[in-house]
Chain A
Amino acid sequence: MRDTPQTFLLDGVPVPFHEGQTILEAARAAGRYIPHLCWHPDFPPHGSCKLCIVKVGGRHVSSCAMPARAGAEVESDTPEMNGERRALLQMLFVEGNHFCPSCEKSGHCQLQALAYDLEMMTPRFNHFYPDRPVDASHPDVLLDFNRCIYCELCVRASRDKDGKSIFALTNRGIHKHLVVNAESGRLGDTDFSGDDLAANICPVGVILRKRVGFAVPIGSRTYDATPIRVVAMQSEDGEGA
């Protein structure tokens, strides 16, 4: 794509963009961080988590999906937007069962890291305490559905990169959940492999490799040392985990 001299304003500072870039992509290319969970640089935007919401001309939009427009005034790192993002994180926390102190992903988890970064102090809302069984049927990988945030990165990675379609979502609303590609419903009965991209893309602690638990001690993990707003901008894949 050819460079064009177009810019928009992100929190008052000009950000250049090419035609076709989204607000989040352009911001990132200019070294500006906008929080995100379901967005990943190697995939088209998904638009489900809504952590990337920004205000453009008074309207809320998902910056990961919204094409940048010349002259637009985008508000992102403001108390108002961060307050709404914090509430969305609180929703994700109360919807599942997140017991961070006993979670193998603690310190590598993007949900937890964002909660720290956005200073989420309490869950505020009532917990749903859903009943979500764990699937330990696969020799190399454990599925702990209690922590799923439905970003569908595993779905997309398995379908679009691994060519396997191991994962899909079923049911709807608050009852929505992941299923695997087997009549038995067990991961062990699929052709899933620990080397699949889908096995290594979950931003939270659902898809976990067996036998490497706690190899890196809690306290020396990715986000223990560096906040997600820094890690996300350093790493090539936008994850850091």
Chain B
Amino acid sequence: MPDPQTASLVDEILARGERRPERLLQMLVQLQEALGYLPADVLTVLAKGLGLPRARVEGVAGFYSFLHLAPVGRYRVLFPDNIIDRMLGTPGLMDRMCRNLWLEPGHVSEDGVASVDTTSCIGMGDQGPSMLVNGHTLTGIDDARIDAICDRIRAGEPVGAWPAEWFRVEDNIRRADLLLDARLAPGEALAAAIALGREGWLEQMHRSNLRGRGGAGFTTAVKWLACRDAAGADKVVVCNADEGEPGTFKDRVLLTRLADAVFEGMTLAAWAVGAQQGFLYLRGEYRYLVEALESTLEARRSAGLLGHCIHGCQGFDFDIEIRLGAGAYVCGEETALLESLEGKRGTPRIRPPFPVTHGYLGRPTVVNNVETLAKTCLIARDGGEWFASHGTAQSTGTKLLSVSGDVARPGVYEYPFGVPVERVLRDAGAEDTLAVQVGGAAGIMLAGYEFGRHIAFEDVPTAGAFMVFDARRDPFEVARNFVHFFAHESCGFCTPCRVGTGLLKGYMDKLADGNGAYRDLADIEWLDRLLKNASHCGLGSSAPNPVIDVLQKFRPAIERRLRSADFQPAFDLDKALERARQMTGRDDAEAHLSNSPEHS
């Protein structure tokens, strides 16, 4: 049984969530914030309070990487581990911090004060080295800052009391176009759409030919129409603000600068499909944005842009609730997102049925990306045809790119679709570029001879990431980093991805250690095929992309890591004796096998 103080906290959180099982994840997030971890007895009480089997609560708590079932220290430090962060020097900073605090990565310090670990990309690739401490985002980290942070941790100072400038996140808007230049007044687009009527508004959406900015590029009007026509009056609009694709941060900037436009886009979707309930699913990494977003929502309610009779329009009722994720890339996949919104493990659903007919709690649901929704405001205000006159015929309008890596000016760039890759490189101040990873880890790696290609659904599609690597970098290491990412983020539901990403990681590490053989390349290609063909969702099927690209376009980067042998065992006899050496306190020559790769 938890102590009385903890028990009353659980009660309070249960009451705040109205004891609704679909708020389970939100309750776990709040308990984690308050208690630092989720003790077993707290889960028992919470399960009872929600009328859920305890095993289910434990199952959910165990799924999300920001929730902990064992103590992780009063200060929980996470360094992002995307290849861009590594290039910015986070491994060295992390090392410094560990030495400073006398602890090992992944373990809690002996005094229980702190733990230091890595996490996937936190969407700060344009901010210099960054980190999370107890869910707070810190940017512009250097050695001196690490030392200062360690001092405060040792002094036991709460993170909230640390200097505000340590937490400043710059917008870094480097090129503005239709959206970032639009100067939309709150309610302006909504007034225009209401004047058009629901039908007229959908017609403008059709004419705009707007396609989803979250990755798949599905035509937004078609999605909305399907949801509107689906059986069931209780429709839902969800804004996908999970932005987990490594190297992507443009939604962060939209949620900071254009939050009104994002919420207005959701309201425009609600107007089109007839929804009354809306959710913004915000990745846990963007926890720091919640307060500002809540106050924007409050201002919109006061202005009559949310709530009952929106804009004075009888029968137009709609409101928005923010729900937080807790460290799971797969929850960006729309059906996993819906599971997570329902307070469950983020496991992608079987499709069909699709969310437009069976979404949140089985209700017809539109899921759209942040940028997609913001862009609908432009269409409402300036018209579908006007919007379609920008970009290319198949990719209308503009695209926000999150540019990071080896460039002089990292940040957000908005271009009309069809912009050549080399133009972006030039504008960002990239020199001696070897490769560009467009669309994140799941995207495509472009080699120099492809820099004339165009950003567009029909050529190089992208959810917005644009990571630049110059000639000093090794494409193999880029791919290996992404493979580690996918293995870490696999939800584990289906066999090919759960096991295949782990196996692929093993092969890439074997190659990195210099123990690869040609036989391994055959196994890698076979795994790539299985992942592509048999995976349950887009995570597994895109996991081999970086490896396939490197094998095709940068083959020497892989081949130079192969030992000439046709076959090299993955099992290292000498390494296997390490435990025995440790236990016997030996490290002399006799305690080593001379035939192992490192010693031959």
Contacts and interface: CB of A to CB of B under 8 A. Distances in A.
Interface in B453-502: 487-496, 498-502
B380 to A, nearest CB: 37
B495 A50 contact: yes
A84 B61 contact: no
Given A170-B62, A174-B502, A183-B40, A88 B533 contact: no
Interface stretch (A26-34, A139-147, A161-169, A217-225): A161-169
B533 A84 contact: yes
A195 B176 CA distance: 67
A169 B59 contact: yes
Contacts of A45: 350
A146 to B, nearest CB: 15
A165 B63 contact: no
Contacts of A50: 494-496, 534-536
Interface string A198-223: 00000000000000000000000000
A179 interface: yes
B495 A91 contact: yes
B105 to A, nearest CB: 17
B492 A150 contact: yes
B76 interface: no
B490 A174 contact: yes
Given A172-B62, A172-B345, A94 B499 contact: yes
The 9 A-B residue pairs with the shortest CB-CB distance in the complex, in nearest-first order? A170-B62, A165-B53, A168-B55, A176-B492, A91-B499, A168-B59, A181-B55, A173-B490, A60-B533
B576 to A, nearest CB: 11
Given A171-B62, A172-B345, A180 B55 contact: yes
Contact of A172 (B43, B56, B63, B506): B63
Given A87-B530, A165-B53, A172 B491 contact: yes
Interface string B40-74: 11011000000001111011011100000000000
A79 B39 CA distance: 51
A179 B533 CA distance: 30
Contacts of B501: 173-174
A118 interface: no
Contacts of A170: 58-59, 61-63
A45 B500 CA distance: 22
B489 A173 contact: yes
Contact of B526 (A49, A87, A176, A183): A87
Nearest to A96: B499
Contacts of A171: 62-63, 492
B56 A168 contact: yes
B445 interface: no
B523 interface: yes
B585 interface: no
Q: How large is the interface on A (under 10, 10 to 19, 20 to 34, 35 or more residues)?
A: 35 or more
Contacts of A62: 350, 536
Contacts of B536: 47-48, 50, 62
A116 interface: no
23 contacts: A45-B350, A47-B494, A47-B536, A60-B534, A67-B352, A84-B529, A84-B534, A87-B526, A87-B530, A91-B495, A91-B496, A95-B499, A168-B58, A170-B58, A170-B61, A172-B345, A173-B490, A173-B498, A174-B498, A175-B492, A179-B62, A181-B53, A181-B54
B289 interface: no
B544 to A, nearest CB: 14
Interface in B222-281: none
A65 interface: yes
Nearest to B510: A126
Contacts of B570: 126
A176 B53 CA distance: 18
Contacts of A175: 492
Interface in B288-309: none
B328 interface: yes
Given A84-B533, A171-B62, A165 B506 contact: no
Contact of B44 (A92, A149, A174, A183): A183
A30 B54 CA distance: 42
Contacts of A49: 494-495
Interface string B326-354: 00100000000000000001000010100
B531 to A, nearest CB: 11
Contacts of A172: 62-63, 328, 345, 490-492
Contacts of B491: 172-173
A185 B503 CA distance: 29
A94 B499 CA distance: 9
Given A84-B530, A181-B55, 4 more contacts: A60-B534, A171-B62, A172-B62, A183-B41
B44 A125 contact: no
A35 to B, nearest CB: 13
B496 A88 contact: yes
Nearest to A92: B495
Contacts of B535: 50
Contacts of A51: 495
Nearest to A64: B350
Interface string A27-71: 000000000000000000101111101000000101001010000
Nearest to A177: B62
A182 interface: yes
Given A47-B536, A88-B530, A172-B490, A167 B499 contact: no
Contacts of A167: 55
A83 B535 CA distance: 15
Contacts of B55: 165-168, 179-182
Nearest to A175: B492
A149 B495 CA distance: 8
B550 to A, nearest CB: 21
Nearest to A67: B352
Contacts of B63: 170-172
A166 B56 CA distance: 9
A36 to B, nearest CB: 12
A222 to B, nearest CB: 23
B59 A92 contact: no
B381 to A, nearest CB: 40
Contacts of B530: 84, 87-88, 91
A52 to B, nearest CB: 10
Contact of B498 (A53, A95, A165): A95
A176 B56 CA distance: 14
A167 B495 CA distance: 20
Interface in A92-150: 92, 94-95, 124-126, 128, 149-150
- Most chain A CB atoms below 10 A, which of B496, B498, B500: B498
Contacts of B493: 48, 150
A150 B500 CA distance: 15
A168 B526 CA distance: 32
